Amino acid sequence: MSERFSFGLLGYPLEHSLSPLVQEVALQAHDLQGEYNLYPVSDKRDLPGMIGQLREGRINGLNVTIPYKHTVSKMMDVLSTTASLIGAVNTISFQHNQLVGDNTDADGFIADLERLGWFPEADQLRSALVLGAGGAARAIVYALRERGWQLTVAARRIEQTEILVQSLSSEPSGRHIQGKVKSSPFNIQSLEDLEPPPDLIINTTPLGMYPHLDASPWPSGLALPSKAAVYDLVYNPAQTAFIGQAQEAGLRATGGIGMLVEQAARSFEIWTGLVAPRIEMHRSVVAYIKGGR
């Protein structure tokens, strides 16, 4: 790698991403020269040229977000085991003359869930409802299924949901996984009748993200399950409409700052081989959001 690092985020839209903030904090903590840029790509036909800059050495590492996590996985020379099983890539590096696709979302989510300590009994059967069926949903479903959770995926595009469920329901050769995955129509009746009722509801959609503060992925007029916890992957704002709904119902709820920091830290470590300064990265996001953007 060059003495000056060049990292970035690939996706669309990107104008409200805080990834540059957390990654530049990590660079500064290690006295590294470099920058983290946003690369908004509205047309997927432009992806090969953008990713090709890693082969040319013009970029040292890329993160990938909505809507390209699944698309770019097919453009890699090598996929990590995790990225291959999930079918989605959020971190790209160039190693040994090969484009390497990885996924730090799954481990980042689990690390933050463990930090919260909501489900201390590791051997107890749990159920979760995942809202959305994009690349982030794939990572969440994979992570929880690996740990034996029973999962229901619901999204407005039922065909996308069924593709996700089909791809993540099969057991790789030689492995037995206790967790199961099923799909559900995204309507009040289907979500109300879920059995067993979910212990955890995860929003993987961008609904509620700044500046659309009033949007929520939860159907209007549907009561939240009385014993569920809510995890909203949206991190800006820290208090989304969905989190507000959960708290009004007396439920535990959190936004996605912890996962943002953890997945970003793991990406930084892949690119540099250095330990990411998680505490400083987390503080920077909290301070920025509290400051009113």
Of 69, 74, 227, 290, the active-site residue reads 69
Lowest mean pLDDT among 120-124, 155-159, 232-236, 249-253: 120-124
Identify the CATH number of the domain defined by range 106-257. 3.40.50.720
- The answer to whether residue 176 scores a pLDDT higher than 60 is no
β-pair partners for 39 = 10
pTM (2 decimals)?
Answer: 0.91
Work out the burial of residue 30: count CB atoms within 10 Å of its CB; fewer than 13 is exposed, 13-18 middle, 19 or more buried.
middle
Q: Which two tokens stand for residue 174?
A: 């030689």
Torsion, Cα of 41, 45, 48, 51 (10° steps): 10
Question: Average pLDDT of 153-173?
Answer: 85
Residue 10, helix vs strand vs coil: strand
pLDDT of residue 291: 79
Stated as kind and residue range, the H or E segment containing 201 is strand 200-203
Mean pLDDT over each residue of the chain, to the nearest integer: 92
Two domains, one topology: 4-104+260-290 and 106-257: yes
> Domains of the chain: which residue ranges?
4-104+260-290, 106-257
Q: Which residue has the tokens 């069926």?
A: 133
**C-alpha span between 217 and 173 (Å, rounded):** 36
**193 φ, ψ to 5°?**
-95, 10
Q: Which two tokens stand for residue 85?
A: 């099983």
Fold that domain 4-104+260-290 belongs to in CATH: Rossmann fold (3.40.50)
> Residues 7, 62: contact at Cβ < 8 Å?
yes
- In the annotation, is 69 catalytic? yes
**C-alpha span between 192 and 85 (Å, rounded):** 31
Q: Which residues, other chains included, contact 31 with Cβ-Cβ below 8 Å and sequence gap of 6+? A: none
**C-alpha span between 257 and 147 (Å, rounded):** 22
**Residue 179: which pLDDT band, with cuts at 50, 70 and 90?**
confident
**Residue 177: which pLDDT band, with cuts at 50, 70 and 90?**
low
5-21 pLDDT tens trace = 999 999 999 988 999 99
104-139 pLDDT tens trace = 999 999 999 999 999 987 667 899 999 999 999 999
